[in-house]
Amino acid sequence: MSEATALTPRSVAFSAVRDQVYMIFPNDLNSNETVFGGLIMAHMDRYAAVVADRHAAGVCVTASVDAVHFMAPARKGDVLVFAASVNRAWNTSMEVGVRVEAECIGSTERRHILTAYLTFVAVDEQGKPRPVVPLMPEGQTEARRFEEAQIRRDARLKHAEEIKALRARS
């Protein structure tokens, strides 16, 4: 990759994943007859990893998950629909947002099942962090997600500093 290409910001659309479906089967259910949350989280991590790898044009690892919000249960007969996109990129890390909806077979109605925010870090052959290209948000929604991602990053760094300071005192 040339230096100019390396520095060229990428759009959200360049790496976004849309409308990835997963049909729920009986063995995907927990004892409460709703979909096992860990199954949804595993899929969310895979799709988010594809998004991060595309944006960074190489291997990325999941560094952390800031939040996983289960909004409503998914059930037998549902089809899960995954969407994932980069919200913001910093030096070597990116935040990827994931939204999961469920549609009941035979209905066009969709329910919001999950929203999550994951941080990925681009790594080189030695597993060391390497720089990623900036993100170029377009439109109001992408601009809002871009700003919100910075709030989550600031909170994460502040939290890490506070824990570090507390441990240093004890």
Ligand X SMILES: CC(C)(COP(=O)(O)OP(=O)(O)OC[C@H]1O[C@@H](n2cnc3c(N)ncnc32)[C@H](O)[C@@H]1OP(=O)(O)O)[C@@H](O)C(=O)NCCC(=O)NCCS
| Alpha-carbon span 160 to 87, nearest angstrom | 21
Site string (10-39) toward ligand X, x via CB under 6 A: ------------------------------
In the complex with ligand X, which residue's Cβ is closer, 78 or 153?
153
Q: Which segments of the chain are extended strands (E)?
A: 10-11, 17-23, 60-70, 78-89, 93-104, 110-122, 135-136
Segment 81-120, which members bind ligand X (CB under 6 A)?
90-93, 119
Least distance in Å: CB of 99 to ligand X?
20
On whether the CB atoms of residues 103 and 83 are closer than 8 A, the answer is no
Query: What tokens appear for 11 in the block?
Result: 């759009």
| Alpha-carbon span 60 to 87, nearest angstrom | 15
Q: Is 121 in the site for ligand X (CB under 6 A)?
A: yes
On whether the CB atoms of residues 108 and 75 are closer than 8 A, the answer is no
Site string (142-161) toward ligand X, x via CB under 6 A: --------------x-----
Least distance in Å: CB of 25 to ligand X?
26
List of residues contacting ligand X (CB under 6 A)? 61-64, 90-93, 119, 121, 123, 127, 129, 156
